[in-house]
Amino acid sequence: MKALIRLAGMVSAIGAVLATSVTASASTVDQFSMAGSGADAVFSTCPTLPVPGQVCTDTRIAVANQITRADGSTSPGTTLSIDVFKYGMDSSGSFFFVSDTAGFGLASMSIDSRLTSASASATFPVVTCFADGTCTDGTMTVSASWSGQGDLRHDVSNFHFSKGDVSGTSHFNGFLRSASANGTVNGSGLGDSLFADLFNVKSVAVLICHMC
């Protein structure tokens, strides 16, 4: 189960911004595959639930050697992606959306073969969308480092789900090691590290939305 959660995280982080849609027979198919070494991490300025009036920022960073998009094209080199989600809690205890920033670009990465440490950096364009529906363009410089913790594990998993008009499958085969992580965006820290790992994998995920 943990492997599936990790795979879902990597797909949402990289696939959401790289996958392109292929439409056929009134269905939308998003396919994403990844091979080689990489790392991902999730950070938050609110490691616990926010208090009323507090705005929180959750950041997911992922980097990998090779990514293949839905149209079959392969990234020309190591690629890093980021998703920065800002939200808060109002005085009634309800959550509210502030903004979401996402982007990806070619990166420099250093990672050892035993997945004990890694570092990556990149500068690339991003798009930020706000609660009122407006979006703005920008640029981010992202740096991150990972330090492996615990045993190197080999995981093989296949997963399928279906709910209503949406179905999906994923296949994961590779090595993983849990890690601690540090990261900055435009020179600023990202809060506490909630999750991080190093990996060398082959993975494929397909999401199908029927009648979309």
Token pair belonging to 79: 């690629």
Please give the tally of structural domains in the chain. Answer: 1
User: Taking a C-beta distance cutoff of 8 angstroms, is the pair 29, 208 a contact?
Assistant: yes
pTM score: 0.77
Helix (H) or strand (E) holding 8: helix 2-10
What is the H or E stretch that residue 129 is in? Answer: strand 117-130
CA dihedral in degrees (70, 76, 80, 86; nearest 10)? -50
Q: Which amino acid is at 194?
A: L
- pLDDT of 71 reads 63
Share of the chain above pLDDT 70, in %: 83
Is the pLDDT at 9 greater than 90, yes or no? no
CA 43 to chain centre: 11
Listed range (52-61, 74-83, 189-198) with the worst mean pLDDT: 74-83
Longest dimension (CA), the chain: 50
| Domain hosting residue 133, numbered range | 2-210
